Amino acid sequence: MTALKTNKVVTITLNPALDLTGSLDALKVGSVSLVAQSSLHAAGKGVNVAKVLSDLGADVTVTGFLGKDNPELFHQLFTEIGVKNEFVEVEGATRINVKLVEADGQVSDINFPGVQVTAEEIARFEETLFRLADTHDYFVLAGSLPGGITAEQCAAWIEKLHQQGKKVLFDSSKAALRAGIDAHPWLIKPNDEELSDFVGEHLETPEQCQVAAQTLSNKGIENIVVSMGADGVMWLNQGEWLRTQPPRMNVVSTVGAGDTLVAGLCWGHMQVMPKHDLLRFATALSALAVSQVGVGLTSQEELENIKLQTQVSELYPNTNLDKN
């Protein structure tokens, strides 16, 4: 059956954050560092994905948990970008994460714990999520887990959506990734560090990442995408590998680049792009993200230019490659 295009998508951010971003020449660990510019804005991986998808033209609904004490910047953002707000507001304040961006593009993240959600608040979220499943086929579940939600609980939501025939794009790490991988997400996007953590060994080359990713395909995950920063992106689908290599970019900030890649992958699938075009588009979108401060599609013209310079190649399976 021919796939149908859709613009409708739900992004799920269980543990959002207000990002306090500071730009400085160089971080002086153990001493005083002076910030030249700063900003405080609503963020979280799923929120970032929602912003990019909205810029691309998607009809986005956002959900997850928001602290009642400080939701204003999130409400303002959701209005500005035109997404439907289905967040469950819970007791307490949404966390503030600190991102320090140095002049050479290096980013230091200081992430704080999130809100503690109760059983009653979780039940309200579940009601919201599966009500949305009545009218949506694509779900992006991205980011870490707040207190009160276990990795197994998160995996159970993925599995239930899978059983309902929904396409879940899952982007997380550590325990949540480990549990979620067994819950049949439709797409996962570990980076090389997250993949290394999952397999328990340091993966240094794209070939080693390819071998590690192939072991995950045995778990029934239809799309395995590995992001490798400047070395590009690899995608395993139905036993076939594609790899993209973007042009070298002037890196301003890597904040949100992975979330932008997820948004590009989601939009490409929603628009039923041919596979080569889809991966080229998503890779170019992510490459554009590192050349700017902030998340979102800032220049369609520049995106088209990067797409023209992004190479796509087919890879052969490397099942017998020596990983050592």
- pLDDT-based confidence at residue 1 (cuts at 50, 70, 90): very low
25 found inside a domain = yes
- Tell me which DSSP letter residue 160 carries: H
131 found inside a domain = yes
Catalytic hit among 19, 171, 192, 259: 259
- pLDDT-based confidence at residue 4 (cuts at 50, 70, 90): confident
Per-residue pLDDT of 77-119, as tens digits, reads 999 999 999 999 999 999 999 999 898 878 899 999 999 999 9
Tell me what pLDDT residue 320 has. 45
Q: In angstroms, what CA-CA distances link 123 with 36, 76, 126?
A: 44, 26, 5
Tell me what pLDDT residue 224 has. 96
CA–CA gap between residue 241 and residue 99 (Å, rounded): 34
324 found inside a domain = no
2 found inside a domain = no
- Exposed (0-12), middle (13-18) or buried (19+): which is 196, by Cβ within 10 Å? middle
Instruction: Taking residues 36-61, report their average pLDDT.
Output: 96
Number of domains in the chain: 1
Tell me what pLDDT residue 294 has. 79
Tell me what pLDDT residue 105 has. 78
CA–CA gap between residue 80 and residue 102 (Å, rounded): 29
CATH number of domain containing 30: 3.40.1190.20
- Exposed (0-12), middle (13-18) or buried (19+): which is 52, by Cβ within 10 Å? buried
Question: What are 95's strand-pairing partners?
Answer: none
* Catalytic residue check, 259: yes
Mean pLDDT (the chain) is 93
Q: Which amino acid is at 45?
A: K
What is the DSSP track for 251-318?
-S--TTHHHHHHHHHHHHHHTT--HHHHHHHHHHHHHHHTTSSSSS---HHHHHHHHHH-EEEEE---
- pLDDT-based confidence at residue 318 (cuts at 50, 70, 90): low
CA–CA gap between residue 1 and residue 238 (Å, rounded): 17
Tell me what pLDDT residue 324 has. 37
Structure tokens at 85: 């707000």
What is the DSSP track for 54-69?
HHHT-EEEEEEEEETT
Tell me what pLDDT residue 3 has. 66
212 found inside a domain = yes
Tell me what pLDDT residue 323 has. 39
Instruction: Taking residues 216-230, report their average pLDDT.
Output: 91
Per-residue pLDDT of 135-154, as tens digits, reads 999 999 999 999 999 999 99
Instruction: Taking residues 299-310, report their average pLDDT.
Output: 94
321 found inside a domain = no
Tell me what pLDDT residue 293 has. 75
Range(s) of the domain holding residue 116 = 8-315
Per-residue pLDDT of 239-285, as tens digits, reads 899 999 999 998 777 778 999 999 999 999 999 999 999 999 999 99
115 found inside a domain = yes
